[in-house]
Structure 1
Amino acid sequence: MTSPSGLRGRVAIVTGASRGIGRAVAEALVAEGARVCVTARDADGLRRAAAELGGVGLAGTVADPAHLRELTALALREFGRIDVVVNNAATNQPYGPLMDADPDRWREAFTVNVEAPLRLVQYAWHAWMGEHGGSVVNICTEGAGHVGPRVGAYGTSKAALLHLTRQLAGELAPRVRVNSVSPGLVRTEMARFVWERAEEETAAGLPLGRIGEPDDVARAVVWLTSDAARWITGADLLVDGGTRVRPAYASGTDPVHAALRSAAPPDSPQAAQAP
């Protein structure tokens, strides 16, 4: 990947970075010359990722504010600055009809998907960005723009994250730009229960003919954090293979929704939460 990004020498914090979209984002930022401080719940996976990325890592859950404070301090201690924050870690639990949603799992969805991104941006702002500037990208979802079966808690919390993105863009301007990327169905472990059983059928229903890859999202994130997007803030960039414009959507034969209806639930809450 080559672009006039101006990311060389900058420092990025990326959450949920041991695999999937978070790992691809961290790799893409490093390829553009940035240094990374990464976090994930999987300590072994994170250790490997940090070593391969040439960065530093801190295992833990973004649901813990103390972990986020320590992560911010680690980035400053190791690299002396924080230019980019990518809030990627998320949970898709509770999975199922909202009438059956466990209240504790519902609150967890908002803790991980909404509160944690806010906390991390707060810590980065007070530690460095408020004085020196920077860029934030929140990973949302194409599904936040409409309703879908079984993913009501995920979609609702990500819709809240979309509004948080716009709110922070207004509050932190002009020093810090805040944008979001909303992927469609991407080939990740978190979404495996959707795409694995009917990938060909799902892909055939998309205008671009395939489901997404983590690198598709990573390229968009790099662009938004770069100087090439220096006059963009408060925006949400759809990276969805044309999900919103497919003819099948209006006709009620939405392939992703069909896959969700037929998919088995995620194996476990732990497996369903991005690291």
Structure 2
Amino acid sequence: MGKPLSGKVSVVTGGSRGLGREMVRAFAAAGSDVVIASRKLDACEELAREVRDATGQRALAVACNVGDWAQCDTLADAAYAEFGRVDVLVNNAGMSLLYPRLDQVSEAMFDKVIATNLKGPFRLSALIGARMAAGGGGSIVNISSIEAAHPEPLAVPYAAAKAGLEALTGGFAHTYGPSVRVNTIRCGPFDTDIAKAWPAEMRTELARHTALGRLGAPADIVGAALFFASDASAYCTGATLALDGGFR
């Protein structure tokens, strides 16, 4: 099949673990140089070394809390300083906070969830999308959640942020089209590092609600991510793909 991302440069936030790590590995194997961003620089550097050794692609590790506007600026500047271009941006970094009741969600908790899941992707998409549109174009992939469409009582701020992220997808697709495509992958329950803390009964219940009868494996993100990142999706923009095992 060749390497569908040969000669490309991809930025993946939340790239050092979970779904982000799988996408970084897959993009590098597909021929892309990669910028690996997360709050933990050591983890990014470790993955960058693995990528260089395994694929021969260039890999840049950048510490970035995407909830911080200035750090988003720094990430974009670092990517362009190192590679001179960005062809693919994956807004994958996300987080939610536990709370006993909605009336006990503090302003600081709410702001942190919105900043990581919505403000950061907005800033990065604006910065990098504008430069993509002024250059050779590119692809932006937003990683959302089934919570955007089916918010649970204990994840309402997170669900609101992810719904906002999906709204950004359409807005940016029209703003930076036709040369920049912007799409969303709406993920169901995935068996990532975070899921290790889920009680066994919760894992069983989530799996039971999928048509495929299981949680997603991290590698299950790869096909959809490569589709949106590559020319395979050349006529697809402003779209949301449900990657949830048939969850209901």
The question of whether the paired residues in 2 share the 8 Å contact of 1:86 and 1:137 is answered with: yes
User: Retained in 2: the 8 A contact 1:95–1:153?
Assistant: no
Deviation at 1:170, TM superposition (A): 1.4
Does residue 51 (structure 1) correspond to residue 34 (structure 2)? The answer is no
After TM superposition, list the pairs within 5 Å mapping 1:78-89 onto structure 2.
78-89=82-93
DSSP-derived class of the 1:73 partner? helix
Q: Does 1:62 align with 2:66?
A: yes
Is residue 173 of structure 2 the alignment partner of residue 169 of structure 1?
yes
The 1-side partners of 2:200 and 2:26 are apart by: 25
SS of the equivalent of 1:211 reads coil
Tell me if structure 2 keeps the 8 A contact 1:94–1:153. Answer: no
1:101 aligns with 2:105: yes
Name the CA distance, whole Å, in 1 between partners of 2:50 and 2:201: 32
The secondary structure found in structure 1 opposite 2:175 is: helix
Do 1:83 and 1:129's aligned partners in 2 also have CA atoms closer than 8 Å? no
Paired amino acid for 1:164: L
Higher relative contact order (CA 8 A, sep 6+): 1
Matches within 5 A, 1:227-246: 227-244=231-248
RMSD: 1.8
| Superimposed CA distance per residue, residues 163-218 of structure 1 (whole angstroms, 9 cap, x where no aligned partner) | 11111111111010000101100011223333645434432342101100111123
Q: Which residue, 193, 197, 201 being the options, matches 1:189?
A: 193
2:27 alignment partner in structure 1: 29
Counterpart Cα distance in 1 of 2:70 and 2:247: 38
TM-score of the pair, normalised by structure 1:
0.82
Q: Between the two proteins, what is the percent identity of the paired residues?
A: 35
Report how far residue 80 of structure 1 moved: 1.9
Equivalent residues, number = 242
The Cα offsets for residues 15-61 of structure 1, whole Å up to 9 and x where unpaired, read as 00110011111111111111100111112211101111221111131
Unaligned ranges ≥5, structure 1: 245-275
- 2:147 — aligned with what? 143
Does 2:18 match 1:13? no
Q: Give the direction of change, closer, same or farther, for the CA distance of 1:96–1:10 in structure 2 (3 Å limit).
A: farther
What are the equivalent positions in structure 2 for 1:128-139 lying under 5 Å apart? 128-139=132-143
C-alpha spacing 1:96/1:230, structure 2 compared with 1 (3 Å): farther
Asked whether the equivalents of residues 20 and 214 of structure 1 are also in contact (C-alpha less than 8 Å), the reply is: yes
Normalising by structure 2, what TM-score?
0.91
Query: How far apart are the structure 2 equivalents of 1:96 and 1:141?
Result: 21
Alpha-carbon separation, structure 1, partners of 2:49 and 2:126 = 27
- In 2, are the aligned partners of 1:5 and 1:226 still within 8 Å (CA)? no
Gaps of 5+ in 2: 53-58
